[in-house]
Amino acid sequence: EGRYAQASVAHLDYLAGLAREALGDMAGAKASFQRAAEPQPGFSPATYYQALALRKLGDEGAARKLLGVLRDHALQQLEAARKPGFATSVPQFVFYEEDPQKPHRVAYTYLLGLALLGLGQLDEAEKAFAEVLTLDINHLGAQEELRKLQNRRG
């Protein structure tokens, strides 16, 4: 997700925490989860990993609250994009051959899927990731999450 500068750092810190935890390095795991749990500006996939790290640190309430805020933000952004005139004053949109809202819908539908996944709403998350892939078949994050969900179900 090159668009989200902080996403890869939070993701890597979270994954490093999981790896250290699996190796029995609980102090190292905690340090990695603490880095991943650091607040990030705005909303991005980093927000999802921040919530997962909070959960690993034992703060389920904060994790669920953050995931709920992420879900609500994604829904608000998707609703705003449906309103007539959304972002139509930006001159570069005049030259788009495809729907100018598509990148916006892809990004926020993916964030919605992550939030739903973190909240345990697996069917809804699966639908969101599938929708992302109908908009952008090459979206690696949605491909990966959908694959993991399908593998979980057997």
The 10s digit of each residue's pLDDT in 93-108 is 555 556 778 999 999 9
Looking at the structure, tell me whether residues 91 and 114 fall in a common domain. yes
Cα separation of 31 and 5, whole Å? 21
Residue whose structure tokens are 């809202």: 101
Residues in the chain with pLDDT values less than 70: 1-8, 83-98
Which residue in 3, 7, 8, 2 sits closest to 104, CA to CA? 3
Domain identity same for 84 and 100: yes
pTM of the model: 0.84
Answer yes or no: do 71 and 54 share one domain: no
Tokens of 64: 């669920």
Instruction: Please count the structural domains in the chain.
Output: 2
Q: Which domain holds residue 119?
A: 60-154
Q: What pLDDT shows up at residue 44?
A: 92
CATH number of the domain that 71 lies in? 1.25.40.10
> Could you tell me if 48 and 121 lie in one domain?
no
